[in-house]
Structure 1
């Protein structure tokens, strides 16, 4: 009772500390991952490798950090999110440190892909799943803040990586990033708490639980993944993910191919980060009022339109415009998606369901960026990769629209928010 009273009287609802921890985890984990574009050219030169083979390093890591959610999500539902988040940040740090000592591209695959991939995969879904349980009314906003760490990481980390590479070399740069992941990421992960009830609290800091929608209620993982709504959402995320992460790997080399200096090219990734941060803060909260499912469709359409800007860009200012617009809608997609899952299926197994859903993103990430690299090796152009990336987002939007109409007619017995 004393713990409950202390929690109830606390000036700051502990859910916001969970959001802050998730923000730090996404900032460190994805920030380190998205510095890869800055390392692409040094790795090409160091190991005499093609752009496609070097791009595969990022694709393998992306496959692991999204695909591992199918394991880490259910583990978090059962054992709590904190231990998985801490282990994940330690793995990111160790992976980057080992990559700094790699003597071949295969060793980079092993160190970076396994370390960063497994590390982010352990931490990301459990941290984001924990946030969903702490909020109902402001779930989209809270989720947006939590995943805005990805945007801020994309803003801050690539210029930092470029500075470290220029000053110390790519090996020392990886070592420094690894130390940051261990200290800051691992420390903040200790603040993660799986459920407000463990602190005698209720979602949103209310004195009473939400009437008619207990936080522990919801579908089992098996029920969810068999539902038409989940299948359509999985298909949409799989299709769009073939193109979503192509800019994170290939925007910097694209800019360099168009005569833009390395420092300005790296800043383009930061512009994606600026847009992404804005999208996560603004669009996550806006989705709470205009409907999260409808907002998800708008994110797919927005990413497609932004990629169309990239297709006709050739100077730093047009590329910056693309990067910002793309970042806004990409950030909104990442913020809204977990909240849509919670709306559909409830909170009892939300981490496990999100984990299964993110395997779709894993397969798209594995194929998309590396395929774009190999397409460039064959044609010396990114035109086909960019157009295909835009098309995948259009198809994803159509899938969600059709599935939503079908679900309304069938009146599926899952939560809708």
Structure 2
């Protein structure tokens, strides 16, 4: 007898509420993206200083996701989301106090580790438990909060910074984050349905078995290396696009609009990648998306015109958008549901470490060379290495099926 699906109308209510939460959550790091040059000038520091703060936020988010995911399994995702929203707002406020260390502590410790650490990986794991048939589509939807944020907030931040300065703009957003997330968490983040019994529909593989013909932790390690290598190049346009544009003589307003176009295109295409992942699997979708990212990232080096850059930014957004949810989908496909609470945060930690490395590297390479071109070349090289690792894992998919058939 076929097990009953856990998906209901309530699953989609939870998914859309989580999308709204993430649309606010992902706005916080964008303050640094838009205000990178004003912050550096205000602090009398090189661009690598605010870039490092952005890197620390990514690193803290990834590292915090592991213990916060464990706590969410025990205390409930609602409590952890409320706590995370409060810590994120506090971190934004601390970052405006002045000085490099206030920026680092505000973004790295409070916004990243204690704040977004509760609002990223734990929410992805939580929503994945509400779905078994269209899990890839649901994960694509909720992680699109990053792109909803990118389509909405950069232009508003650019105007706010122009009118009020980056400190007041940051404080206003801190209030918005707390006021928006708290009621959403309290009203909509209910306990998820119980997971199917081992071997049931949507439960994932049985614990203790091989994954792709290899030990499970080895596969997780390879996937972690892969997501790190693809997130390094992903961070370069995400963090440095506005500054890259102003260096080419375009206005900050144009750069912010270009970032919004990039992320709006990513939002639209992520829905397609989620649909595709439900049909061909997470790892194959990762391979296709990574190839698209490598090609479009290299095109940033081939044009300097405004129209050309808008076109490349849109293409980059369309190409890379399916990567992160497809990695999470692959974890849920190849590992038992009972292990998702720690494997998903561990994987996303590697991805956010890659984002942190890429964001910091872009600023450091610019400070050393006076150009973003070497950083983008390094990003393309990292992407090629990612394709090699993911290609190996996809090749193992066929071998694993042959071994199952022989058994």
TM-score, with normalisation over the residues of structure 1? 0.88
User: 1:303 maps to which residue?
Assistant: 293
User: 1:134 maps to which residue?
Assistant: 130
Contiguous gaps of at least 5 residues in structure 2: 1-5
Measured after TM superposition, the shift of residue 210 of structure 1 is 11
The count of residues paired between Structure 1 and Structure 2 equals: 395
Equivalent residues of 2:283, 2:393 under 8 A apart: no
Equivalent residues of 2:284, 2:394 under 8 A apart: no
Distance 1:248 1:310 in 2: 13
User: 1:97 maps to which residue?
Assistant: 93
The 5 Å alignment of 1:42-61 reads 42-61=38-57
Match among 237, 242, 267 for residue 227 of structure 2: 237
User: 1:374 maps to which residue?
Assistant: 364
The residue matched to 1:34 in structure 2 has which SS?
A: helix
User: 1:159 maps to which residue?
Assistant: 155
Distance 2:240 2:133 in 1: 38
Question: Within the alignment, does 1:34 sit opposite 2:22 as a pair?
Answer: no
Distance 1:320 1:343 in 2: 36
Greater than 6 Å deviation, 4+ residue runs:
220-225
User: 1:277 maps to which residue?
Assistant: 267
The residue matched to 1:406 in structure 2 has which SS?
A: helix
Question: Within the alignment, does 1:63 sit opposite 2:59 as a pair?
Answer: yes
Distance 2:26 2:57 in 1: 11
Could you say what the CA RMSD is over the residues aligned between the two structures, in angstroms? 2.6
Measured after TM superposition, the shift of residue 62 of structure 1 is 0.7
Equivalent residues of 2:331, 2:340 under 8 A apart: yes
Distance 2:31 2:306 in 1: 19
Q: Deviations over 1:320-366 (max 9, x none)?
A: 11221211233211222211110111322313111111221233233
Distance 1:232 1:220 in 2: 18
Measured after TM superposition, the shift of residue 74 of structure 1 is 2.2
User: 2:341 maps to which residue?
Assistant: 351
Distance 1:221 1:316 in 2: 53
Equivalent residues of 2:58, 2:356 under 8 A apart: yes
Match among 187, 200, 205 for residue 212 of structure 1: 200
User: Bigger CA drift: 66-75 or 167-176?
Assistant: 66-75
Question: Within the alignment, does 1:116 sit opposite 2:104 as a pair?
Answer: no
TM-score, with normalisation over the residues of structure 2? 0.90
The 5 Å alignment of 1:161-180 reads 161-180=157-176
Equivalent residues of 1:61, 1:117 under 8 A apart: yes
Distance 1:109 1:268 in 2: 27
User: 2:144 maps to which residue?
Assistant: 148
Distance 1:94 1:234 in 2: 31
